[in-house]
Every structure is written in structure tokens, then in C-alpha cells.
Amino acid sequence: MAVRCGLVGLPNAGKSTLFNAVTCAAAAVAAHPFTTIEPNTGVLALPDERLPRLAEIIGSARLTPAALLVVDIAGLVRGASRGEGLGNRFLAHIREVDAVLHVVRAFEDPRVAHVQGELDPVRDMATVNEELRQADLETVRARREKVLPRARAGGAEAQAQVAALDRLAEALSGGVPARALAAADPAVQDLLPGMFLLTAKPVIYVVNLGEAEAARLAAGRPAPAWEAVRAAAAAEGAPAVPLAARLEAELRDLGADDRAAFREAVGVAEDGVRRLVGVAFEHLRLVSFFTANENEARAWPVPAGLPAARAAGKVHSDMEAGFIRAEVVAFSDLDRAGSVAAARERGWLRVEGRDYPVKDGDVLWFRFRTDPVRGVRAGPAGPAHVRP
């Protein structure tokens, strides 16, 4: 299952514009709140120069790059945890994603109203985060009430859970997100699976600059809004990425030469979307492994160190259920060898078991059993052949 990243933020922060910039979808964009009601979902393809070379070596007919699913969620307003705006619908959509891309407005535009009046990016960050913490606090209190009867009856495990829930509630009440407490409290970390806490999810702040602000930043001149958000994000251990969403959306449909000329003309040379992808991979600790056969060469984003059997499950559940072994070669070695046969001859193609931690750039062929009568199926992706 693909990694899902949810775009959250106040209305008119530029979430839908950013969504259109980073995906091939086309979400509605307007200057009034709640243009997005139901979440839009698009695919953010992750460029990887290794993939075409892998397809060349294997003779693959098509390329499929790694991708993140990006979900454009309706804007949050103050009081959402109490049902204001789209309230619980908004919060439910966030619970379904793996990571949060928190879009912070840092551009001035009189045509686009600001729901909180004057521009203040750090205040806007705090507004969204406070609503997420309040929603989590209600979840924690509900879980505590459910566990409390067992704790009062003398259950040691339940008593330990209540104590951990109390620490979590205290942290949330004091403005500390669940992910921060969990990093230092193993008992709280053990509670998180299944609770779907909003502040337990990793977050990346996307600072949506105007074109002029982006050009100033690119030229090394002061950009106060960006610096303020970066400092606030750093204080909670989160990365921040500056990006001019409207500019990136306008550039999306241009050819490479036209994009380069446009960027030079406006003074923003760096591809903001590419930077966001790089930061997301680093912060979420993702790596890409490859599968390839004559039909398809494909990259798969997975958490670093994911065991080989679970990586096989990303390709197809049958592969994980019947996993036997994986044949592995590093892309760099395969590239040097020039063919699978040459890599095998040099001892660079090796066999690994189900617990092998997958590394970035690994090319994997999974061998797995789906039917004891017919035997072993072998193949990375797409149709696989059957060995008697």
C-alpha cells in the first residue's frame, strides 16, 4: 500500500494549488474557504535517474516510478475539534494518512481572503496544531475511560496503560504533540498503534511563498515569513520547505526548456516540488527498491530497513504470504556489470531471507509459493512464471 501524505492547513493557504503542482490531478482552486470539501487524491511521481537504466539493462517495456499518494484535505478552521467548519469530517480524513504536509500561507494577495485576518504564518501554524492536539486529547480521554474499569479491578496491564494515557493527556494539554512524547516514552509509543492520533503522524511544513518572496529567498535576501516558520518548525523537530505553489502549478505543464527559461526569468531556479520530495523521503525515512522484468521496471518507496518479506507484500500480498527468498543485487553493481548474468558471475547477485533489511537501490527478485501443488512462482512484478 502506498504512503499517503495529507495536505492540511487553514482555508486559502494554497493546499489545492500545491496539490495541482505536485500531482497530475486538477483540484478546484478558488479564493474562498472550503473549495475542497471531499478530499482529492493524486499521485506524486518521484523522479529517479536509475529507473531508465534498469529498464535498459533488463529490457523492460515500461517504467513505473515510485510514487506517494497525496490527499488534498479540506481547510481547517479554529474550533474544528468542536465541529466548526467541516469539523470531524476534516479530522477523520487526516486520521487516514501516514504523514502530514502542513501548508502554511506566507504570501500576500488581496484577492485571496485570509480567514484569520492579517498574514501571520506562525499564528496559523499554532491554530492548526492546537485543533489537532485538542482532537487527540478527546481521543485519549475516551480511551482512558474505556481502560479505567480494568485498571480499578487490579489489572496491571490496564493500570500501566492508564498511567501512560495520563502522561499523554498532560503532554497534549501542554502543547506537546504525541510524536514528541512517544519518542521519549516507550509506554506511550506502545499505545499509539490503533489510536490514529493526529499529532503522532510525522509532519513537514510547506511554506507557501509568493513569487516575489520566493525570488528574494533564492537570491539570499531576507524572507521574514519563511525564517519565522522555519524557526517554529525546528523548535518541534520538523523540517520546513519553502515553495511557491502557484508558480510550481503554472510550470507543471511546460516543457523542460520552457520551465528553465521561466524559472530564470522570475529568479527561482530550484524546483520546489523536487526539493519537497527529497525532504519527504529523508524525514519519513523512505528508500526505493526496484523490481524489473520484461514487462516493467518499477520503483517502490518503503520505510528504510523494511524486511524483505514485507517488501514483497508491497508488490503483491501473495508474495509476502508465500515468501521463500529474495535474489538481491545493488543497482550500482548491476549498472557496472551491465547484465544480470554478469552480476551473478561476479558474485554480486546474492540470496537473502525474509528478514533481510531492504536498502535504497536494491533490485529484488522474489521467490514465493502460492500453491504447494504447482510449486514456486518467481518474479518481481507483473506476470510471473511458474516453476514445476
CA distance 46 to 65: 6
**What does the pLDDT read at residue 59?**
96
Secondary element (H or E) of residue 104: strand 99-106
CA distance 327 to 64: 21
With a pLDDT cut of 90, the percent of the chain lying above it is 54
Model confidence over 139-170: pLDDT tens digits? 999 999 999 999 999 999 999 999 999 999 99
Range with lowest mean pLDDT among 272-281, 292-301, 319-328, 377-386: 377-386
Cell of 168: 499523554
CA distance 205 to 287: 21
**What does the pLDDT read at residue 223?**
85
- Compare 110 and 25 and report the one with higher pLDDT: 110
**Inter-axis angle of helices 211-218 and 224-235, nearest 10:** 80
CB 7 within 8 A of CB 101: yes
* Mean per-residue pLDDT of the chain: 85
Give me the domains of the chain, ranges plus CATH numbers: 4-36+73-129+175-282 (3.40.50.300), 288-387 (3.10.20.30)
Q: Which residues contact 70 (CB under 8 A, 6 or more apart)?
A: 4, 5, 6, 7, 19, 22, 23, 41, 42, 43, 44, 101
Q: Which residues contact 4 (CB under 8 A, 6 or more apart)?
A: 68, 69, 70, 71, 96, 97, 98, 99
Mean pLDDT of 350-364: 96
Secondary element (H or E) of residue 352: strand 350-352
Q: How far is CA 103 from CA 111, 179, 221, in A?
A: 19, 19, 22
Model confidence over 312-341: pLDDT tens digits? 999 999 999 999 999 999 999 999 999 999
Q: Helical H runs in 195-351?
A: 211-218, 224-235, 245-251, 256-266, 272-283, 308-315, 317-321, 331-337, 340-345
Enter the pTM of the model: 0.82
Model confidence over 284-320: pLDDT tens digits? 999 999 999 999 999 999 999 999 999 999 999 999 9
Mean pLDDT of 359-381: 73
Cell of 269: 531556479
- The answer to whether residue 87 scores a pLDDT higher than 80 is no
CA distance 354 to 113: 54
Mapped onto helix, strand or coil, the DSSP state of residue 72 is strand
**What does the pLDDT read at residue 79?**
52
**Inter-axis angle of helices 211-218 and 256-266, nearest 10:** 80
Q: How far is CA 176 from CA 183, 219, 353, in A?
A: 12, 35, 41
Model confidence over 18-44: pLDDT tens digits? 988 887 544 444 343 444 445 678 888
Mean pLDDT of 47-63: 95
**What does the pLDDT read at residue 273?**
87
Longest dimension (CA), the chain: 71
**What does the pLDDT read at residue 45?**
83
